[in-house]
Amino acid sequence: MKTHKLMTLGLAVICSLAVASAVMAQEPAKKAEPAKKIEMKAAVKTEAKAPAKTAVKKAAVEKKHEFTGIVASVDAAANTLTVDKKGESMTFTAGKNIKLADIKKDSKVNVTYVKDGNKCEALKVVEAKAIKAPAKKAAQ
């Protein structure tokens, strides 16, 4: 009987030590947790303050395309620009930095744009320089 009591007492001491060491091992993790909560709150506040910047970054991340052709029409009321190239026609919505008044009909332009579904937004419109053929030498 005494042996049984001693074994039970020994087992209780071992279990107590195991629980105590597990609790002590977890304490540093609890101290570090409030710092994580503060960082997460700061990140949430930063995202809430700048949703417009996120949209701009998203547009910048999207793949940019280029289209070179002849300006078929400029519609300032609709804020659009239509460019034709060898039977293919593309209509672009003018971006913030595009001044439609500066774009002339029948001029050759290079349009840098991003595609959002079926819509194309022009980010940059530059008049394309015509490539001049080298001058022929006069026969002597």
pLDDT mean over 87-112: 90
Which has more confidence, 131 or 98?
98
Which has more confidence, 84 or 58?
84
pLDDT digit string (tens) for 60-91? 557 899 999 999 999 989 999 999 999 899 99
What secondary structure does DSSP assign to 45-95, as a single string? HHHHH-HHHHHHHHHHHSPEEEEEEEEEEEETTTTEEEEEETTEEEEEEE-
What is the domain partition of the chain in residue ranges?
A: 2-49, 63-127
**pLDDT at res. 133:** 46
C-alpha neighbours within 13 Å on the C-beta side of residue 68: 7
CATH code for 63-127?
2.40.50.320
**pLDDT at res. 116:** 86
pLDDT digit string (tens) for 5-57? 878 877 787 877 777 766 666 655 555 555 555 555 555 555 555 555 555 55
**pLDDT at res. 69:** 94
